[in-house]
Amino acid sequence: MTEATQRAAPCSPDPPMDLVAHPKNPIPTGVHAGFVTTDDGRRIRYARFDAVESPLQGTVTIFQGRAEFIEKYFETVQDLRARGFAVVAFDWRGQGGSERLISGSRRGYVDSFEEYVHDAMAVIEQVSLPDCPGPHYGLTHSMGGLVALLGHKRLRTVFERVVMCAPLFGLGKFAPSESFVGPLAAVATLTGFAERPLALTDTKAAANPFEGNPLTHDAHRFERMMALLDKAPELDTGPATIGWLNAACRAMRHVREDGFAPQVSLPVLFVAAGADEVVSSRATEELASRMRAAGFVEIPGARHELMAEAKRFREQFWAAFDAFIPGSEG
């Protein structure tokens, strides 16, 4: 099933089929956008970008982070295409242009992170594998890394290697401690508060100044993200819910269990941000030390969104990527 996929009725307002253009963030050429349907019936928006450079190096499928959307990755798409890759990007259920899960609301919600694995496999099986050239690689950010690790057994048959950028294996300083919020979220979920937001947030640029933000040192890239949300508020994902937090804590505990890491044979490079306050780089380093085929690199001083960071940090990230993904030197 590709871009001709028939559209089913979503839980909340119709998600946009078309990608959103902005003067600061033009849509790359050679794109094919549409929806796939997961095996549990959710509609997931995707975009497939043809390779533009030769020799052709294969395809990279991007697993984005929480509250992100395809348009945010246009610059990364261009970086990958310059290296000879075709690219596939998609929005997780409950965010961006994919089907929302709480009727009439854009709050971030999911029952289990295994549902995100369904999303990834639907896109890979219906778009990446049939429509894009091999070999296949993965590139993940934040929450996307946790999803990929949960689905490592299925992804091992698809991806040659995966680069995980600032993965979510533990909460950072920006959030309360996981040992405190995890049990509270579990109890609140069981007692009927799963859809309650964790906080009230405003995504408009005026309410989110660049100064002091935990995501990037780069003012231009930060303002570009805010401008996208101002132009297309339908792509926004509101605050995470108690149910989402409960699901995230369960997933993080699972991948950190003693018996989990030794089972992972998927070759992975973890790239951590040295000044990350959103996720725990130490949790990533510890997990990498127990995996069979994992490397760990930390970029000193960088904030959480390495692919949207200042030039000096992005160059280090892409150098690590190029050294790990065969044939990808840009």
120-138 pLDDT per residue, tens:
999 999 999 999 999 999 9
Helix (H), strand (E) at residue 52: none
Which pTM was predicted?
0.92
Domains of the chain, first to last: 31-324 (3.40.50.1820)
CA–chain centroid gap for 138, Å, is: 11
For residue 111, give the nearest of 119, 101, 103 by alpha carbon: 101
- The number of residues in the chain equals 330
User: Is the distance from CB of 126 to CB of 133 less than 8 angstroms?
Assistant: no
- The whole-angstrom separation of Cα 217 and Cα 199 is 25
227-281 pLDDT per residue, tens:
999 999 999 998 899 999 999 999 999 999 999 999 999 999 999 999 999 999 9
User: Of the ranges 212-216, 296-300, 307-311, which one carries the lowest mean pLDDT score?
Assistant: 212-216
Give me the residue label for tokens 């946009």. Answer: 16
- The whole-angstrom separation of Cα 79 and Cα 118 is 27
3-state secondary structure of 241: strand
Taking residues 146-174, what's their average pLDDT?
Answer: 96
